[in-house]
Amino acid sequence: MSDVIAAETLKLPHLNYGALAPMLVLFGAACVGMLVEAFVPRRSRPAVQLVLSLLAVAAALVAVVMRSGTHTITAGGAIAIDGPTLFLQGSILVLGLVALLLMAERSLERGGAFVAQAAITAGSEADRQQAARDPGGTDVYPLALFAMAGMMLFVSANDLLTMFVALEVFSLPLYLLCALARRRRLLSQEAALKYFLLGAFASAFFVFGIALLYGFAGTVDFAGLNNAVRTSTQSTVLLYAGLAMLAIALLFKAAAAPFHVWTPDVYQGAPTPITGFMAACTKVAAFGALLRVLYVGFERVSWDYKPVLGAIAILTMLVGSVLAVTQTDIKRLLAYSSVANAGYLLVGVLAVSRAGLSSTMFYLVAYGFTVLASFAIVTLVRDPDGEATHLSRWAGLGRRSPLLAGVFTFFLLAFAGIPLTSGFTSKFAVFSAALEAGDVGLWLVIAGVVSSMILAFPYLRVVVMMWLSEPGETTPTVSIPGALTSAALMVGVVATLLLGLVPQPVLDLTNRAAEFIR
């Protein structure tokens, strides 16, 4: 008996630590961050946490860049490191870096944008005391690092179970982060609860889909699934139902209609730096995973899912643009714009070609920078009660602070797709990929053009508000941005301008990276 146990030693899967280094660095730094929360004195925690997070993200970014060209599956077939993985991980890291800068800003509000002790009941006497006195909690940093690491795992997962684990790893910190606003805590907690409940439903769909697909294919990794489409003897109802459930979960995270309903409320209630983080990085993660699922796992059924997802894309673009027209709150307006942009991203995804993959990745990066910087400007428009997000409060801002209003106008023009901005080149990329792929692509481009027309109206309304309206008595001042927010804004402006004027380098990068490993 003993020699049987001795002979069969447990064979652990080989871990390519080099390829996994970026994620390991972030997970490690997040754990160290939690220890910092426990042991470092409160006064020096913000600085220590910020430095730790920035260093970790920078190190992970260096690790990603050093691994460029890798094309391998590791960790027992659970993680795939290929071109898209590295590009998307790099995007998440860069966008996350900018988001961290926004989170760390403390000069706009004493104590920062986050509440000191989230567990205190909102509105109670203790809460009033902490709002007046205590510096903000710094647990946002390890939570953000966990979220980023989870996102990186999400886009590199090679089988559905790993993907599910990653989904939970990055979603749970995000639910928490949404609840941590310093001002309007009830709104923030409500947003977090909505996100959590709906996200839990989405995760449930995901797991149910995995179960159905396992029943169909007998395996959960993508290569096996792709094979099983051809060879499986099970009923294809399992396949389509499973794929549908999977798609629902992924589209929820991507904020596509009709699974977008959480987006305006959550974006509005969450602290603005977290909103920016979600708008940029969660989109990258969600679309990265969607691309891998559709292109690697289910390429053989692309003829079947294209019409359905095409209809969803058209619905998303139209819903996002039509509902944005009536918005009166800038954060909700940007949220609906985010929904419409998810539609444009779906247009790129549905090209199901190399061009589709590279154009979607380009759009994710271009959009991420612009939307992060837009939310950075939203943090700057404040009055003594906090951020002034109602559009009427933005009247005449162009008169008071022409530079910031000019920068925000530039971002709105980028969202509208005016040439010489990244918004135009990214839209052109996805539209051209879709039209080239043919069939449903024509309708997608037409819907994209129509929704761009509709979306121009609310963007223009904000521009009119800022420049062509007289400032009222209630127009808030625009705070002078601190160094961190200025850095974030600068990155956003430069990226939007450069990707619009000289997109060729990044286009080359996405083209070279656009090959999945199976």
Partner 1 sequence: MSAFPYLSILTIAPLVGGIVVACLPRQRPTLAKRVALVWSLAILALTAVMWVAFKPNGPRFQFRESYPWIPTWGVRFTFAADGIALVMLALIAVLVPIVILASWHDAEGGRRSVPAYFALILALQSTMFGVFAAADVFLFYAFFEVMLVPMYFLIGSYGGHQRQYAAVKFFLYSLVGGLFMLAAVVGLWVVGGHTFDWATLTRIDMSTGAERWLFLGFFLAFAVKAPFFPFHTWLPDAGAAAPAGAAALLVGVLDKVGTFGILRYCLPLFPNASRYFAPLAFALALVGILYAALLAVGQNDLKRLVSYTSIAHFGFIGVGIFAFTTQAGTGSVLYMLNHGLATGLLFLVVGMFVARRGSALISDYGGVGKLVPVLAGIMLFAALASLSLPGLGPFVSEFLVLIGTFTVNKTVAVTATVGIVLAAAYALWMVQRTTQGTLNPALSTVEPMRRDLNLREAVVVAPLVVLLLVLGFYPKPVIDVINPAVTATLQQDVGVQDPVPTNGTTEAGR
For the window 485-504, what string marks contact with partner 1 as x by the rule CB under 8 A? -----------------xxx
DSSP per residue, 95-147: HHHHHHHHHT--SSSTT-SB-S-TTSPTTSHHHHHHHHHPPPP-THHHHHHHH
At closest approach, how far in Å is the CB of 246 from partner 1? 31
- For the bound state, the minimum distance from the C-beta of residue 453 to partner 1, rounded and expressed in Å, comes to 5
Pick the closer one to partner 1 by CB: 25 or 349. 349
Q: Is residue 55 near partner 1 by the rule CB under 8 A?
A: no
Q: Scanning residues 147 to 176, which ones bind partner 1 (CB under 8 A)?
A: none
Stretch that binds partner 1, among 21-29, 80-88, 207-215, 424-432 (CB under 8 A): 424-432
Using CA atoms, how far residue 41 sits from 111, 120, 121, in Å, is 16, 21, 24
Output 204 or 453, the one with its CB closest to partner 1: 453
How far from chain centre, in Å, is Cα 217?
A: 30
Letter string b/e over residues 150-173, b meaning 16 or more CB atoms within 10 A of that residue's CB: bbbbbbbbbbbebbbebbbbbbbb
Among residues 47, 126, 453, 494, which is the contact residue for partner 1, using CB under 8 A? 453
Token representation of residue 133: 């006195």
Among residues 489, 467, 470, 469, the alpha carbon closest in space to that of 479 is found at 489
Would you count residue 511 as binding partner 1 (CB under 8 A)? yes
Residue 411 contacts partner 1 per CB under 8 A: no
Distance between CA atoms of 260 and 508, rounded to whole angstroms? 32
Residues 429-448, one symbol each (x = binds partner 1 by CB under 8 A, - = not), give --xx--xx--------xx--
Please state, in angstroms and rounded to a whole number, the distance separating the CA atoms of residues 308 and 219.
Answer: 25
Report the alpha-carbon distance of residue 93 to residue 62 in Å, rounded.
10
Residue number with CB closer to partner 1 (338 or 452): 452
- Of 186, 403, 468, 480, which one interacts with partner 1 (CB under 8 A)? 468
| Member of 31, 65, 126, 449 binding partner 1 (CB under 8 A) | 449
Task: Give helix 160-178 / helix 283-292 axis angle, nearest 10°.
Answer: 170
CA–CA separation, 267 vs 328, rounded Å? 14
Out of 31, 65, 186, 420, point to the residue binding partner 1 (CB under 8 A): 420
State yes or no: residue 322 binds partner 1 (CB under 8 A).
Answer: no
Please tell me the count of residues contacting partner 1 according to CB under 8 A.
34
* Closest CB to partner 1 among residues 305, 424: 424
Cα distances from 97 to residues 64, 209, 277, in angstroms, run: 14, 33, 10
Give the interface with partner 1 as residue ranges (CB under 8 A): 399, 413, 416-420, 424-425, 427-428, 431-432, 435-436, 445-446, 449-450, 452-453, 456-457, 460, 464, 467-469, 502-504, 507-508, 511
